[in-house]
Amino acid sequence: MKTFGINGLGRIGRTAVRVWWRHHRDQLDLKLINTSGSMEVADWAHLLKYDTNYGQFGANVTAVQTQSRKAATEINPVIGTITISEAGATHEITITAERDPAKIPWGQYQVETVIEATGKFVTAEAAGAHLTAGAKTVILAAPAKGEGFSMSVIGVNDFDSQNPLRSNASCTTNCIAPVAQVMVKQFGVAKALLNTIHSYTDDQNLQDNSHKDLRRARSAAENICPTTTGAAKAAGEVIPELKGLFDGLAVRVPTPVGSLSDMVFVTQKPVTKEEVNAVLIAASQLPKWQGILAVTSDPIVSSDIIGRSESSIVDLNLTQVIGGDLVRVVSWYDNEYGYCCRLIEQIDR
């Protein structure tokens, strides 16, 4: 059984634990979770057990504290354990509090793969510290900054097996890349634009306050906040035909989870709405896209896709074609749960 650990128990880290327990606990062994040390182990267990977006964990979650977070040291960073149990299945996870990734005891706990979920260690030099600490592979739960990482979107491309530093790209890239690849293969794409209508994240402020991005500085729960996204450009990294031809922006909106990608393509072949939808329906039925690319004809809204595991759920009723070559495709995605499903799956690839 492959072993893994998680660095960071924020939104992505905790959702990844839920995905692992629900779908992968018989194939993957979660050995250790490293936290920032900002809370005691019982407090982390509480946030794991109760979640505003996804409800209660669905299994018993208990904590044992072995020392205070403030007492954690480089020699002994362990602050306790979290145990998850359900219907006779029990799993104990060691919890540490160490802010230097080079000092997390991955090697001591036989952790082969580390999910880097803090959002902080996104360069090759920073993430490479996990290798120094004994891990064999690092999977970044974010787009990487700079060179040195192999980036993969499941269903679209594979990692470089020789590179231990890997990126699962972003939730938005995981949504748009499957659709974009289908469009490229079937119709050719001359250029494309993206507008992702994205639920707010904790990179925004709850109330107006200081932030390097003055739009993200404003109250996330009260405003529509246009901002940047690298998702479209990243799609060009995993789909070479789109490199330099795909760009976009994000609009953060006052919903806690559930997002929508509005993609506009200029195709090289003349198409109709019916042809576009037929191709997307057919693609969703292929083995390579099972559980990744889905379609719907129902008039859904964002709350309807919370907890969906697919990367991309095309809303067929919203497809538009103008002049035979200007094509809009709209696709939903759970920017937390759906993304974490791919994140955990990457461990076993």
Q: Where are the domains of the chain?
A: 2-142, 171-335
Q: Quote the pLDDT of residue 349.
A: 83
- Return per-residue pLDDT of the chain as tens, 349 residues: 999 999 999 999 999 999 999 999 999 999 999 999 999 999 999 999 999 999 999 999 999 999 999 999 999 999 999 999 999 899 999 999 999 999 999 999 999 999 999 999 999 999 999 999 999 999 999 999 999 999 999 999 999 999 999 999 999 999 999 999 999 999 999 999 999 999 999 999 999 999 999 999 999 999 999 999 999 999 999 999 999 999 999 999 999 999 999 999 999 999 999 999 999 999 999 999 999 999 999 999 999 999 999 999 999 999 999 999 999 999 999 999 999 999 999 998 8
**In contact, 188 and 324? CB cutoff 8 Å:** no
Q: In this structure, which long-range contacts are made by residues 17-21, counting pairs with CB atoms below 8 Å and at least 24 apart in sequence?
A: 17/48, 18/51, 18/54, 18/57, 18/58, 18/337, 18/340, 19/309, 19/337, 19/340, 19/341, 19/343, 19/344, 20/344, 21/57, 21/59, 21/84, 21/86, 21/91
Q: What is the CATH number of domain 171-335?
A: 3.30.360.10
d(CA 247, CA 176): 12
Query: Can you tell me the distance from the alpha carbon of 142 to that of 124, in angstroms, rounded to the nearest whole number?
Result: 13
Q: Which CATH class is domain 2-142?
A: alpha beta
Dihedral angle over CA of 153, 154, 158, 163, nearest 10: 70
Cβ-contact 252, 227 below 8 angstroms: yes
Instruction: Give yes or no: 225 in active site.
Output: no
**DSSP-assigned letter for residue 51:** -
* pLDDT given for residue 207 in this prediction: 97
Candidates 171, 225, 340, 341; catalytic one: 171
